[in-house]
Amino acid sequence: MSHYRLMGQFGIGQSVRRFEDARLVRGEGRFHDDVSLPGQAHAVFVRSIHAHARIRNFDAVDSSRAPGVLGVFTGADVAGLGTMKMTLKRRRPDGSPMFAPPHRGLTRDRVRYVGDPVAMVIAQTLAEAEDAAERLVIDYEPLPSVTATADAVGGPAVWDECPDNISNVHEVGDRAATDAAFAGAARVVRRRYVISRVHAQYMETRGALGVWDAGEQRYTLYADVQYPHRVRTALATNILNVPEHQIRVIAGDVGGGFGTKGWQYPEHRLVLWAARRLGRPVKWRCERREAIPADEHARDNVTDAELALDADGRFLALRVRTLANVGAYVSSDRNLLATFSNIATLVGVYTFPTAHVQVTSVLSNTNSTAPYRGAGRPEATYVIERLIDDAARELGLDAIDLRRRNLVPASAMPYRTATGVTYDCGDFSTQMEAALKLADVGGFAARRETARRRGRLRGLGVANAIERAAGPQPEFAEIRFSPGGTAMLFMGTKNQGQGHETTFKQILHERLGLDPGDVRYVDGDTDRVAFGMGSMGSRSTVIGGTAIWMAADKIIAKGRRIAAKMLEAAEADITFANGAFAVVGTDRTLPLKDVARAAFQPAALPKGLEPGLYETATFSPPSDTWPNGCHVCEVEIDPETGAVALVAYVIADDVGTVINPLTLKGQIHGGVAQGVGQALMEQIVYDPDSGQLLTGSFMDYAIPRADSLPEVVVESHPVPTKLNPLGAKGAGEAGTVGALPVVMIAVLDALAPLGVRQLDMPASPARVWSAIREAQRPGGRA
């Protein structure tokens, strides 16, 4: 334990290196693929090669007879399994109930996207399962398909029962007031923004290992999920129809989640079903080539946005119409989450008297969409920040001054927005000015001229980001001392690489003074942790950290009673600070560890006090928090090749109280990388005629490398919230929310002198080059 003590203090605000990194860099982590059980069989899923087709015939004879095969299963075999269910109340344009067809695990009769699972082949070894899967003969009758969001309404029907492909419509704001504001506006700016479809591309692909214990009549699922307890509930309640105590879910180290590993995938239920059917564990590991066809996708919106301004450049109203592509199946609320999460922050950090937003969720022959880092907030920020820049250019105004003119002032907090939410605190103006100074925006003109002399186009982007985080759902923590005086910390959140072990030990150290080496951290096991909602939406530190704080308060309260007896003083005279109890006005102290040991010795306890020292807490915040920040980015473009290089990136950020500056910057850097990736290179592409997936591997789907990013400078300007005792707002998605718009704004700023006015992401070299050439054509304008 002493090696921790050499590091000094570990409390809130300290830049502590992550405790979990030591085992991870030594290869001693326990990721999903590291888990193998005696006698396990291996599953391979056969997936549709068509975007839309009828299954005319299925011949599994040759496959079933292949060496090592234990079973070949289709949708007919698993028809008795349940499906996920919707709780959201949405309607179609005619007022009828939302059309939300759930996935049934293995599809029957028709496939509806490339990757739709058709069969499960299980064999003694993975190689045998793969060989047998190749022997399956499936006779498909291809049907017309639609994959492009803009073509979904009125395109070929994904489901016969929903011929117009509209799943539901959701509206927020005041339509009449917004229409009136537009009618009286001095200027109106209109634009269409296309937000591409992407994939999370985590380091470890998904997997699932199912176990059935006949003696205990109990299932165990090993899976890399972000909220194990909710997966258990979903399996028990919706899928298997058994009591929750008959299912255990275990998630070890998770090689990246980003929202996409959050919920109930078909493979989870199928390996459990197969394990019971075959009487042995069944393991599935998603191959990298399988990930994009197998996983949920993200984003994929087409948005028409309008900004109304008065003669002085004040914002009067915002009107937004979005088509959100939700894919072929809508199995649960999760598949719609990003479609309505983006609405609240479409007004950004700006004063809007009124706004109206309408989101139409459309079905297509593609994978279902679901949350991915930001879950709607990057899309919302992209729309409003692009729109402000385009308005400034169209009206001949300075884009930064236009933002200054319309920022919500700190004096207006708490501020009720036109989209119906309340920003409880924040100082957007001070933060933007700090970012502009840190980025030396005043010196940009000289840098642009220097770049011009080198034959490069230099552009500047500024974007103010705000996100809805840490929504009001409960989270659990337990502090459990042992008779020896050390402790275990059990959390209902789930670490996926964010550094939870370090952050939560810091909070515990701050409150109880415990040395991190004296604390064992546990998460991800529904048998060991009593309850949890899991990790998503930048909630873990805000809500889970507060649960730790509350449990620690209970430890202190009980410890004070024990210390009072041990110190022979009145309980009212006992104080607690720096990990020790003390008698007021004296130098008599007692370390918490000694009190913890005494808690297990009945003779040392006050009369009537229950032995032991273990406390739980469950915290549910009163409302969302609102992390925000100002991103400033500079790019250089080679006009001969269209290649875009990021040359500077600065963020002034407010995530509330900073628990660990080091891990915070790591989180923001990672978020920026994912936003940059989508802006410059990432995109899932389908052939418009056949619906065939064209970007199924890293040969075709590009992601950022280390040399894609400059040094990202982060400066914290916290305005702590009063919605929780930590003052934390959440940080996991902050980088992505601002990166997506600011990079594209910088690219367009660089191209503006050439007459390029419109460019959709990703700003790949080919797209940029084509936009330049189009603008240079006689009469051309990109």
- Tell me the DSSP string of 313-365: S-EEEEEEEEEEEEES---SGGGGHHHHHTTGGGGTTB--SEEEEEEEEEE-S
Question: Residue 262 has what pLDDT?
Answer: 85
pLDDT single digits (tens) 160-193: 999 999 999 999 999 999 999 999 999 999 999 9
Residue 254 has pLDDT above 50, yes or no: yes
Residue 159 has pLDDT above 70, yes or no: yes
Instruction: Assign 723 a pLDDT band (cuts: 50, 70, 90).
Output: very high
pLDDT single digits (tens) 292-314: 999 999 999 999 999 999 999 99
pLDDT single digits (tens) 407-418: 999 999 999 999
pLDDT single digits (tens) 338-392: 999 879 999 999 999 999 999 999 999 999 999 999 999 999 999 999 999 999 9
10 Å Cβ neighbour count for 5? 11
pLDDT single digits (tens) 492-532: 999 999 999 999 999 999 999 999 999 999 999 999 999 99
Question: Residue 295 has what pLDDT?
Answer: 97
CA distance 430 to 404: 10
Q: pTM for the full model?
A: 0.95
Helix pair angle (399-406, 377-395), 10° resolution: 120
Residue 1 has pLDDT above 60, yes or no: no
660 and 502 Cβ atoms separated by less than 8 Å? yes
> Which amino acid, 221?
L
Instruction: Assign 263 a pLDDT band (cuts: 50, 70, 90).
Output: confident
First-last CA distance in the chain? 63
Question: Residue 373 has what pLDDT?
Answer: 93
Q: What is the largest CA-CA distance in the chain?
A: 94
pLDDT single digits (tens) 206-236: 999 999 999 999 999 999 999 999 999 999 9
Helix pair angle (734-751, 661-680), 10° resolution: 40
Question: Residue 4 has what pLDDT?
Answer: 35
pLDDT single digits (tens) 430-448: 999 999 999 999 999 999 9
619 and 546 Cβ atoms separated by less than 8 Å? yes
CA distance 771 to 669: 29
pLDDT single digits (tens) 59-85: 999 999 999 999 999 999 999 999 999
Question: Residue 8 has what pLDDT?
Answer: 46
Question: Residue 9 has what pLDDT?
Answer: 78
232 and 195 Cβ atoms separated by less than 8 Å? no
**Helix (H), strand (E) at residue 121:** strand 117-123
Question: Residue 341 has what pLDDT?
Answer: 81
Instruction: Assign 781 a pLDDT band (cuts: 50, 70, 90).
Output: low
Provide the phi-psi class of 281: left if phi over 0, else alpha when psi is between -120 and 50, else beta.
Answer: beta
CA distance 235 to 81: 10
- Average per-residue pLDDT in the chain? 96
Question: Residue 780 has what pLDDT?
Answer: 64
